[in-house]
Amino acid sequence: MKEVTITINGKEVQVQVDLTILKAAEQIGIDIPRLCYDEELSLSGACRLCVVEVEGRPNLQAACVTQVTEGMVIHTESPAVVAARRAILDLLLSDHPLDCLTCEKNGDCKLQEYCYRYGLKESSFVGERHHYLVDDSNPFIYRDMNKCIQCERCVRACAEITGQDNISFINRGFSRKVATYADKPFADSICTFCGNCVAVCPTGALIEKPMMGKGRRWELKRVKTTCPFCGTGCNFDLCVKDGKLVGVLSNPNSVVNGRALCIKGRFGWDYVNNEERLTTPLIKKNGKFAEASWDEAISLIATRLGEIKEKYGPNAFGALSSARCTNEENYLMQKFARAVMGTNNVDHCART
């Protein structure tokens, strides 16, 4: 692909012609702050925190939507750029609760991170603030619009990842906010509770409700695994604290799904800690279930299947598999039926 020569912070580099300034800077290890930009979403250019100075242009340019051109000279931390970013953060703090000590996203909040980076402790603007009621209407998503910075990530995630279009902006000016149709609570909306909006939220406006109070993000050990609920093969991170599963978080490096998950994958993990969950195989002895070892249970199954085959013939056995299993598991099921049991009585729930 055609390349262009640009200069970033005094360093001359060659980059692909179709890159934005933000992506070009990332390639050479320069981090440009951003709040509305997300790798998996369409470009918005809404927050303006990624502004940079481009020589020859009268105004600061939003790096996430400005494409590089031949000979472009860019400054990502000039005095004008730093002043602009501090002003934007100052304005955001003017209508944002400073309750970081008790906020669930403390240590994992982009607004907090950039305020630390540019030395802002509080806003210099005095005036009216919003005091929205917290939407605690559903069991999966805790929604506090007082902490929303209107970056539009959740709106785009709902439309582009989930395809639901459950939320959008309503009203104008100071009254503008992200809301459902007719500003209904989430529980009364068309929300599918997939939590993809939560996964992209950079602040504490949207929180995984089952994880609240279970531990700070830096206290959680994250273990990458594959979702067991269907055969798609989505990956996510199990969050473990003190040896106990406390939640699920998206993993942006997941090859199959990125950060996208359904309601089962993101919130269907609580059965792991259920007291009624079976933790050992059960076999019937004298008409009652009794605990057994895995070797004992598997040996019993093999013995009984062998007896059925010998007494009634191979066609007395049939195998029914599921679309919720992986391709490999379905392959093994039919292989077992044909090669071990000697029958072609194999069917699948997705066959129509």
Residue at 198 is within a domain: no
Same domain, 69 and 23: yes
40, 56, 77 - which closes a domain: 77
Indicate the pTM of the whole model. 0.86
Domain of residue 33, CATH code: 3.10.20.740
Q: Identify the residue whose tokens are 């009364």.
A: 188
Q: Quick check: is 303 in a domain? A: yes
In the chain, the number of structural domains is: 4
Mean per-residue pLDDT, 202-213: 96
Tell whether 185 is covered by a domain.
no
* 71 and 13 together in one domain: yes
If pLDDT is split at 50, 70 and 90, which confidence band does 349 have?
confident
Of the three residues 17, 52, 77, the one that is the final residue of a domain is 77
Pair (341, 284) in one structural domain: no
Confidence of residue 352 (pLDDT cuts 50, 70, 90): low
Is 197 part of any domain?
Answer: no
Q: Which of 61, 77, 93 is the last residue of a domain?
A: 77
Q: Write out the residue range of the structural domain in which residue 341 sits.
A: 313-352
β-pairing verdict for 11-16 and 3-8: antiparallel
> Do 322 and 300 share a structural domain?
no
What pLDDT score was predicted for residue 231?
A: 79
Tell me whether residue 107 is in a domain: no
Question: pLDDT tens digits for 228-260?
Answer: 888 788 999 999 999 999 999 999 999 999 999
Check which CATH number belongs to the domain holding 257 and give it.
2.20.25.90
Over residues 250-279, the mean pLDDT reads 92
pLDDT of residue 323: 80
What whole-number distance in Å separates Cα of residue 23 and Cα of residue 17?
11
Q: Where are the alpha helices (DSSP H) in 175-241?
A: 196-200
Sign of the torsion formed by the C-alpha atoms of 339, 340, 346 and 350: negative
pLDDT of residue 230: 83
